[in-house]
Amino acid sequence: MKGIRYFLTLCIAALSVMTASAQYYGAYDRYIDRYWGMAVEQMQKYHVPASITLAQGLIETRAGQSKLATQANNHFGIKCSHGWTGPYILADDDKPNEKFRSYKSARESFEDHSRFLLDNPRYRFLFDLNPTDYRGWAYGLKRAGYATNPAYADMLINVIENYNLARFDGASRDINPHRLERLEQKSEHTVYFNNNNYYIIARDGDTYKSIKKETGVSKRKILKYNELPAQHELAAGDILYLERKQKHASREYKDKLIVVKSGDSYYSIAQRFGIRLKDLYKMNCLPPDAEIQEGQMLFVYR
């Protein structure tokens, strides 16, 4: 009977993850885009897998939409224990009106999550694992009692594999958390990290002058880094890299073909993967005036 109950619990948990993915379609991707830099930063500092941090944040906050996340910046459901003397918020969990930690910012929550695991003897064995062993971490967190749901480890693994979060476990060599933090502190935009580079997405009302004030990157460099003509006028949705783009995409795309979708252009693909347009042409033996076609196969790392 016990085995059957666990199997049913696992099925329900898997279904809940699938339902959540459908219900919050887009919210999951937005959460990942917004917070993966912080997760990688924590991996660099404390060796907690970025994939685990993101998966826990997604599950605990319902992709950033929970009361704890929106009202208390608490992304990991950490309660007021272990000598916590800071602010708190009341929320129902195993019991009504339990005390949960409240933070000034999401970054403070991510930092406290890492310290909570590192300083708690229950979780210390996890740090002997390879930081890319997200399965070991997932089962270890469940075994150590991080959550009461018997299928918690499988929920984490499902989210990691459904959203390919393991790709961030190899990103810690490239990201500079101090550079990212400085940009985030100065910029009113969300700062994203892609292919060893930082970018923002232009909004209505942006000007080259306002972007330079936020990021310190001049109009001349914005145009150069993003291969834009001198007369280009900023438009909402423009991807604007803040440093020179790479010659090829990240290593996970080595010798793999990507499929051109409706609405794609060679330029939009170059921006998506953070590579120079001339190198995209070169990798695919294409002239600069080549016409793109839906369904076409392209290399972005070769």
Average pLDDT score over the chain: 85
Task: Give the pLDDT score at 186.
Answer: 67
Do residues 132 and 173 touch, judged by C-beta distance below 8 A? no
For residues 179, 185, 187, 192, the Cα torsion angle rounded to the nearest 10 degrees is 50
In percent, the amount of the chain with pLDDT more than 70 equals 86
Q: What is the mean pLDDT of residues 57-86?
A: 89
Question: Could you give phi then psi for residue 275, rounded to 5 degrees?
Answer: -125, 160
- The distance in angstroms from the start CA to the end CA of the chain is 54
Say if residue 25's pLDDT is above 80.
Answer: no
Q: In sequence order, what are the residues at sequence separation of 6 or more whose Cβ sits closer than 8 angstroms to the Cβ of residue 143?
A: none
pLDDT category of residue 156 using cuts at 50, 70 and 90? very high
Angle between helices 134-144 and 152-162 (to 10 degrees): 150
| Other beta carbons less than 10 A from residue 271's beta carbon | 20
- Amino acid at the residue 33: D
Least confident of 51-55, 124-128, 177-181: 177-181
The residue ranking higher by pLDDT, 33 or 286, is: 286
Per-residue confidence (pLDDT) for residue 10, from 0 to 100: 45
At 202-257, the pLDDT tens digits run 999 999 999 999 888 999 999 999 999 999 999 998 999 999 999 998 877 888 89
